[in-house]
Structure 1
Amino acid sequence: MIVRARRISVLLIVLLIALESLALAAGANLASIRFHSGRQHDRVVFDLSRIPKYEAHLSDNGRELTLDLADVSASGVSRANFHGQRIQSVKYRLENGHVLVTFSLKEGMTYKLETLSSPSRLLVDVLPGKSSPAASSEKAKTSPIRVKPANPYGVPGLEKDEVAPGLTRIKYSYNDEDGKVTAYFVEADNNRYKVKPALARGRVPGRETVSGISDRYQALAAVNASYFALSGDILGVTRIDGLMAGTTYITRSAFGLTSQGKPVFGKIDYNGQVKLGSISQGVSGVDCERGENNLIIYNRAYGSRTGTNEYGVEYVVRGGKVTAINEKGNSAIPADGCVISVHGTAASYFAPVKVGDPAVITENLGTQWNNCPDILGVGPRLLTSGKVTVTAAEEEFPGDIRYGRAPRSAVGVTKDGHFLLGVVDGRQAVSHGLTLTEWAYLMKKMGAVDAINFDGGGSSELVVGGEIQNSPSDGQERPVGTALMVVNK
């Protein structure tokens, strides 16, 4: 019996080795190729199922860089011919199981290659300078992405790296009684940089990854921001460039920026009124799904059409007048106006309204918010004037946000007025996540005096220079509704 058991054990070991060999032989899958042209470099990001064997070769004249990816499947990948400040064009070819990508470079360029293991990414940076092809190729094989350690405060596990003048990337790892915690931050000098919210795909509803939003706007850094519905509707009072893009029925905290770029934290309420002809009604919501007996305003932030069904009435408003009435739904939204969509009792109140009647829309957010063209209604509040003030209970956040440890995201402001964007990983071995109170104390430790919580869980993601800093808990990037970006003033 002992001999037989040993034979079975040997067979199991052989089988496991064979399965592992088959997995390794399966090759890597190239899911997408993304491009970003920034102030310091042009960056090409190859999203892969795992890091394959690769080599880079620079031509003798330094004008062509060829990346050779071995045993990689690239079926279905868009092979865009992008160009930037340093890359002039790109060509692709497949050869004996290799994917060969050749970049035409401007004169005087060099490059470096780096890898990210979770998720698997291969990064190609093209930047000014001179180096030998051999030196660059050697660096490509040996240089993983790292935050350069700098520890001016003597805090164990704290690493800092100034990625640009006045822009500092931070990684902080520590152990508590329940395991490891890993968090990532970027601090931006408010004299050089400003923060700016952006809608996914530039509209509502819409969802897009944080790295996609960052790449599209060529942001220096970006973090996920608003809560959102699966449809992409924004859940929270949201205004971008002075245009409302979302509302909520609950009084909650918000982060805003005045027209002078000064940050604002506090509670926010949306109060809207629509007057068509002589009849006034309160607004149920902006740029969201129309429900029973609702009055919804749809503006250009919602895209080209309302997407509503035929069970309501819609009034097209332009130039302070009702210009059309539609009872079939899915009205076209004018770029220089809006659509007032009503259902049930709200529709019956407006029944006497005719084309040509005057239209007046009033939106009030409160004294401190009316001067803020950019607002993100998120929450709960974490810090107020240096004190931990978690407001989850009074803002009626559900249990999945209020309780337990999870990945978190936030924005804060330091005593010097610098912006601090941060995420903490969770639900994985590298980091178990934090409660809201623990997250507030960590934001304070990193220097914030005022801070507010953003959407968390699988949405939590921080991008710096087009590079994902943390490890999203979904195992991949989750498309989100908005992001808060760091951009040059």
Structure 2
Amino acid sequence: MAARRTGQFTTALAVLLAGGALAGTALVGAAAPASGAPGTERIAPGVEYREFDLAAAHGTVRVHVIGVDLDDKDVRVGLLHPDAVAARGTVSRLATAQGALAGVNGDFFDITETQHPGVAATGASVGPEIADGRALKAAVPRGQRFGPALPPGTTTEDVLGVGTDRRARLDRLTLSGTVTTPEGQVKLGGFNQYALPVGSVGAYTSDWGSVSRARTVCGTDTERGAPCSKDTYEVTVRDGRVTRTAGAPGSGAVPDGTTVLVGREAGAQRLRALSVGEAVRVEHRVTAVSGVAYAFAVGGFPVLRGGAAVSGLDGATAAVRTAVGIADGGHRLLLVALDGASAYRSGLTLAEMAAALRDLGASDGFNLDGGGSSTLVAREPGGTKLTVRNHPSDGAERAVANGVGVFSGA
């Protein structure tokens, strides 16, 4: 099966190289053939790398692609992430630390807080994260996200994931949970996320890290730059009992087995009713709308579904971008990053990116963070060291919240 999938990947590239099927674009200056499709490198069984030039509406761009055969049992795709949700690292550092042989940057993230003086950016991602089958966080409210405007019908809960059945899909991950107290139940509104819905209570575990939780009560569901709430409260729960209360979100690492509850407005009022020693039970689940169990998932937003571009995609604003295509009914992934070197920095629009993914053989496509974050790393064939294959537009790798890593046991 692996040989068949690899052949389909190289064939799709060969067709694209020969025809320039992307509307309004044409391929130029492709590298000389190596094996399979022109210029293809076999990184490992089931994993290939390719780069080529594409003449798009705003200028020539260089496209870097990692093809991943999920039918190869030695290959898997997983979340690249730092030691904490509220932390960042370069793609090469994250991939090296986790033993990946290739990867790209992932979701948009909380990179700056200029609208909230005195409040530090957390570095946490916008959307949900699942690593090794375990949910690390949920999504922030739509109005609290960074990045380009979401296409109509998409949400911050949208993810690209690979299920425990080894098939890739587009899906949505939603949070459900409760805080049960002697006074009754409170619906959980957040889980390890940098922004809580107005009036809610959020849960923070050891996965959050040591960064201050002050940012979690800033902004509103529709305006991320709105002032921070002045009506807040925090409760620490360990072994089913309240061990500490505070009038504002705190900082410092959350110990294993401990949950910190942060409330704002109505949520803060509910938490104020709790006293040290009272019994509290916190339950939270991040589940897929489809019901699929995911081994890996990362946030972003769809640009291609069933071979058709998502409606309402921006067709005017071009940028350096990172995206992932799903092909062969979810059995194959295409990790795509554009080059940020000055000669190629004109980039693609979201509509062009959707078309490029389709022409590479994808039926579904998912846009990730771009600009200075766009990074693709891969090992040299037969080597062990990761190298950055594109040129990040900042001139060096940017530290990011997460990424998509390719791993092989071969």
**Counterpart residue number, 2:163:** 258
Taking the aligned partners of 2:242 and 2:261, their CA distance within structure 1 comes to 11
SS state of the match for residue 317, structure 2? coil
Q: Is the 8 A contact 1:322 1:357 kept in 2?
A: yes
Indicate the residue corresponding to 1:445 in structure 2. Answer: 359
1:182 aligned residue: 62
Q: Look up the match of 1:248.
A: 140
Asked which structure has the greater RCO (Cα within 8 Å, sep 6+), the reply is 2
What letter is aligned with 2:208? Y
| Residue 189 of structure 1: how far off its partner (Å) | 1.9
Using the TM superposition, give the Cα deviation of residue 313 of structure 1 relative to its aligned residue in structure 2, in angstroms.
Answer: 3.1
Return structure 1 stretches of 4+ with deviation > 6 angstroms.
none
Task: Call closer, same or farther: CA 1:256–1:392 in 2, change over 3 Å.
Answer: farther
Q: From 202, 221, 234, give the equivalent of 2:125.
A: 234
Amino acid at match of 1:372: Y
1:14-413 equivalences under 5 Å are 149-150=33-34, 152=36, 158-176=38-56, 178-190=58-70, 191=72, 192-199=74-81, 201-230=82-111, 231=121, 232-241=123-132, 242-250=134-142, 251-252=155-156, 253-289=158-194, 293-304=199-210, 307-308=213-214, 312-319=232-239, 321-327=240-246, 329-330=250-251, 332-354=253-275, 355-368=277-290, 371-379=293-301, 381-385=302-306, 387-390=307-310, 403-413=316-326
- Alignment-derived partner of residue 152 in structure 2: none
Distance in 1, matches of 2:211 and 2:321, equals 34
Deviations 1:311-334 (A, max 9, x none): 743323344x12412216336512
Structure 1 CA distance for aligned equivalents of residues 244 and 44 of structure 2: 53
Q: Closer, same or farther in 2 for the Cα pair 1:152/1:215, shift >3 Å?
A: closer
Paired with 2:194 and 2:171, the residues of 1 have a C-alpha distance of 26
State the alpha-carbon separation in 2 of the partners of residues 322 and 446 from structure 1: 54
Tell me, in whole angstroms, the C-alpha distance in 2 between the residues paired with 1:469 and 1:216. 18
The amino acid that maps onto 2:257 is: D
1:94 maps to none
1:468 and 2:388 equivalent? Answer: yes
1:350 Cα shift? 2.8
Structure 1: gaps (5+ residues): 1-145, 394-400
The answer to whether the Cα contact below 8 Å between 2:176 and 2:188 also exists between their aligned partners in 1 is yes
Structure 2 contact 377–387 (Cα < 8 Å) conserved: yes
Q: Aligned with 2:357: secondary structure?
A: helix
Q: Is the 8 A contact 2:77 2:296 kept in 1?
A: no
* C-alpha displacement of 1:186: 0.8
Note closer, same or farther for the CA distance 1:298–1:350 as it changes in structure 2 (3 Å cut).
same
Cα distance in 2 for partners of 1:173, 1:330 equals 47
CA contact (8 A) 1:313 1:325 kept: no
Aligned length: 329
User: Cα–Cα, structure 1 residues 219 and 152, in superposed 2: closer, same or farther, change >3 Å?
Assistant: closer
| Aligned-residue offset at 1:340 | 1.0
Alignment partners' CA distance in 2, 1:215 and 1:247: 27
Counterpart position of 1:39:
none
CA distance in 1, matches of 2:283, 2:56: 53
- What amino acid is aligned across from residue 282 of structure 1 in structure 2? K
Alpha-carbon offset, residue 445 of structure 1: 1.9
C-alpha contact (below 8 Å) 2:373/2:397 kept by paired residues: yes
Matched residue SS, 1:350: helix
CA distance in 1, matches of 2:31, 2:398: 24
C-alpha distance 294-306 of structure 1, shift in aligned 2 (>3 A): farther
Whole-Å Cα distance in 2 between the matches of residues 176 and 412 of structure 1? 19
Can you list the C-alpha shifts for 1:14-49, whole angstroms capped at 9, x where unaligned?
A: xxxxxxxxxxxxxxxxxxxxxxxxxxxxxxxxxxxx
- Counterparts of 1:343 and 1:304 in 2: how far apart (Å)? 20
CA offset at residue 402 of structure 1? 7.2
Classify 1:487/1:366 alpha carbon distance in 2 versus 1 (closer, same or farther; 3 Å). Answer: closer
Q: SS of the residue aligned with 2:351?
A: helix
Q: Sort the Cα spacing of 1:392 and 1:234 in 2 relative to 1 into closer, same or farther, 3 A.
A: farther
- Which runs of no fewer than 5 residues in structure 2 stay unpaired? 1-29, 112-120, 143-154, 216-229, 380-385
Report the CA distance between 1:414 and its aligned residue.
Answer: 2.1
Distance 1:403 1:274 in 2: 46
Q: Specify the alignment match of 1:421 in structure 2.
A: 335
- With over 3 angstroms needed to count, the CA separation of the structure-2 counterparts of 1:312 and 1:173, relative to structure 1, is same
- Residue 432 of structure 1, aligned match among 322, 341, 346: 346
Q: TM-score, normalised by structure 1?
A: 0.61
CA distance in 2, matches of 1:420, 1:274: 41
Determine the C-alpha separation between the residues in 2 that align with 1:277 and 1:444: 54
The two structures, once aligned, show a CA RMSD in angstroms of 2.9
TM-score (norm 2): 0.72
Structure 1 residue 306: deviation in Å? 5.2
TM-superposed CA distance for 1:420, in Å, is 1.4
Native 8 Å contact 1:314 1:341 kept in 2 = yes
User: Aligned to 1:159, what secondary structure does the other structure show?
Assistant: coil
Q: CA deviation at 1:208?
A: 1.1
- Which stretch shows the higher mean deviation, 295-304 or 179-188? 295-304
**Structure 1 residues 124-160: Cα deviation after superposition (integer angstroms, max 9, x where no partner):** xxxxxxxxxxxxxxxxxxxxxx97733756xxxx521
Relative to 1, partners in 2 of residues 1:300 and 1:427: Cα closer, same or farther, differing over 3 Å?
Answer: same
In structure 1, what is the equivalent of residue 218 of structure 2? none
Q: Structure 1 residues 464, 364: closer, same or farther in 2, change over 3 A?
A: closer
Cα distance in 2 for partners of 1:286, 1:221 equals 29
